[in-house]
Amino acid sequence: MSSAEYNPFTTAQQQLDEAAGKLGLDKGTREFLRWPQREFVVTLPVRMDDGKVKVFRGYRVQYNSARGPTKGGLRWHPDETIDTVRALAAWMTWKTAVVDIPLGGGKGGVTCNPKEMSQGEQERLARGYVRQVGRILGVTKDVPAPDVYTTPQIMAWMMDEFEAIQEESHPGVITGKPIPLGGSQGRGDATARGGMYTTREAAKKLGIELKGATGAVQGFGNAGQYAALLGEEILGLKIIAASDSRGGIINPAGMDAKALVKHKLETGTVQGFPNTEPISNEDLLELDCTVLFPSALENVIRSNNAGNVKADIICELANGPTTPEADEILAKNKRFVIPDFLANAGGVTVSYFEQVQNTYNYYWPLDLVHERLDEKMTKAFHDVYDMYMKEDVHPRLAAYMVAVRRVADAAKLRGWV
Ligand code: NAD
């Protein structure tokens, strides 16, 4: 990390400081909310297929549990560090608070490259992680879920390992499970779907017609692929560009999202999709379009390119794609940002629905999941929009103010601060 702008945890702390200042929180509360309550770092030896042992670093950060048990995904990524996990755990705390679900925030990760690991190696890593970290997990303690490069299958192995250790059924210990093991209907596309509901509400407020308008998707994994499909289906957008780690493609006339997803799943990349031209990830972010969906990793909209972003609405499906410096520039240029922890809260909301269903052991149909998700996301968007109008601050700060107020109030009621 060459500067503070590139450390996501510094970014998360800066964002909190700004909100805490605006809310006039006392010094003790501010300092308490700037740091994780608990961090767990583990060393994981895994026997690889060649018979040799490889050692991995794993993390679990329980950022804040004032509003309930901590909740948050697990990332398996070569660039994972304790600071990324801390930042993501902080954002989970604000995310569960902004959608007003009775949970706190946490996050975990393993520094590894699952693309270079066999299924067997991934399974041994997943089970090894639970043997180390399982003691701090549980429905009433901390509940993981999938995130970058972790899958429902990995969640299934982890739940199985946890239940083997506990010698009883605990489906709610982890969410994002496959449906036959207690997963919820609608979890697969929940993150992007929630983003669509917030984009729909933002467009209404801003007086923007989305039907036939243009959309661009940066990052074409779980969140990005569903953004393209649902952007078309729910909002009526024409998807003109998409990218992944290998590069991007563009067709100003629009692309068939379903065919593009099929192409990505078959070839592993969006590149080479018929009737498109190549475009770099950097150029995609600066495209003239109505809605931009950053759906890859952190810190892609920075002070050096924010001034060139032309999208009217930036729906941040990725966590932390915009730096605080870039936020100021976007606000000045009247680009409306739906901040990450609001835009992508659909995933954790349906994860919470999954936990609820696991606990009462009775499962909801898909249309009920969609209806309840829409209700939660729409309410959260308007809570934030009302704060944005009332306080005349940029949308991320408004979202922070709503969320931090709720967490600070809970901590105060508990007598912690
Ligand atoms: P994923 O692993 O399914 O997809 C990540 C995608 O990003 C891949 O297509 C990859 O090729 C692409 N990518 C990686 N580096 C890139 C780069 N430098 N430029 C462009 N593309 C790049 O992950 P996901 O689950 O879709 O998560 C994406 C983002 O959304 C993350 O920030 C994650 O934290 C956030 N998010 C996901 C969920 C969820 O439920 N899946 C929930 C909340 C937030």
Instruction: Give the list of residues 6+ apart from residue 240 with CB closer than 8 angstroms, or none.
Output: 214, 215, 216, 250, 251, 252, 253, 254, 255, 287, 289
Taking CA atoms only, the protein residue closest to ligand 1 atom 19 is: 245
Ligand 1 atom having least distance to the Cα of 344: 43
Residues ≥6 apart with Cβ < 8 Å to 58: 41, 42, 43, 44, 108, 109, 110, 111, 129, 132, 133
What is the reported pLDDT for 8? Answer: 86
Return the bridge partners of 322, or none.
301
CA distance 283 to 126: 37
Residue from 22, 54, 95, 107 carrying the catalytic annotation: 107
Interhelix angle 257-267/222-233, nearest 10 degrees: 160
**Which residue has the CA at smallest separation from atom 17 of ligand 1?**
245
In three-state secondary structure terms, 333 is: coil
Biggest distance spanned by C-alpha atoms of the chain? 62
CA distance readout (Å), 392 to 300, 354, 398, 402: 26, 36, 8, 14
Does ligand 1 lie within 6 Å of residue 84's CB atom? Answer: no
Q: How far is CA 5 from CA 11, 238, 281, 414, in A?
A: 7, 33, 19, 34
**Cβ–Cβ < 8 Å for 147, 177:** no
What pLDDT does residue 4 have?
Answer: 44
Q: Which residues contact 236 (CB under 8 A, 6 or more apart)?
A: 210, 211, 212, 213
CB 278 within 8 A of CB 242: no
Ligand 1 atom nearest to 224, measured from its CA: 26
Q: How far is the CA of 343 from the centre of ligand 1 (A)?
A: 14
The position carrying tokens 């243009």 is 214
In this prediction, residue 2 carries a pLDDT of 40
Ligand 1 centroid from CA 243, angstroms = 11
- Asked if the domains 37-179 and 190-343 are classified in one and the same CATH topology, the answer is yes
Which pLDDT value is given to residue 234?
98
| Residue spans per domain, the chain | 37-179, 190-343
How many A from CA of 359 to the centre of ligand 1? 29
CA 92/CA 71 separation, integer angstroms: 7
* DSSP string across 261-296: HHHHHHHSSSTT-TT-EEE-HHHHHT---SEEEE-S
Low-confidence ranges of the chain (pLDDT < 50): 1-5
Contact criterion met (CB below 8 Å) for 146 and 71: no
The predicted-structure confidence for 120-158, as pLDDT tens digits, reads as follows 999 999 999 999 999 999 999 999 999 989 999 999 999
| pLDDT confidence of residue 340 | 95
Q: Give the fold, CATH level 3, of 37-179.
A: Rossmann fold (3.40.50)
pLDDT of the residue at 299: 87
Are 145 and 159 in contact by the 8 Å Cβ rule? The answer is no
220 lines ligand 1 (CB under 6 A): yes
The rounded Å distance from CA 298 to ligand 1 centre is 9
Q: How far is the CA of 221 from the centre of ligand 1 (A)?
A: 5
- CATH class name, domain 190-343: alpha beta
Active site residue 238: no
pLDDT of residue 259: 98
- Pairwise CA distance, residues 243 & 6, whole Å: 22
**Ligand 1 binding pocket mutation candidate from 107, 110, 147, 151 (most atoms within 8 A of CB):** 147
pLDDT at residue number 258: 98
The confidence score (pLDDT) of residue 5 equals 46
Q: Are 250 and 279 in contact (CB under 8 A)?
A: yes
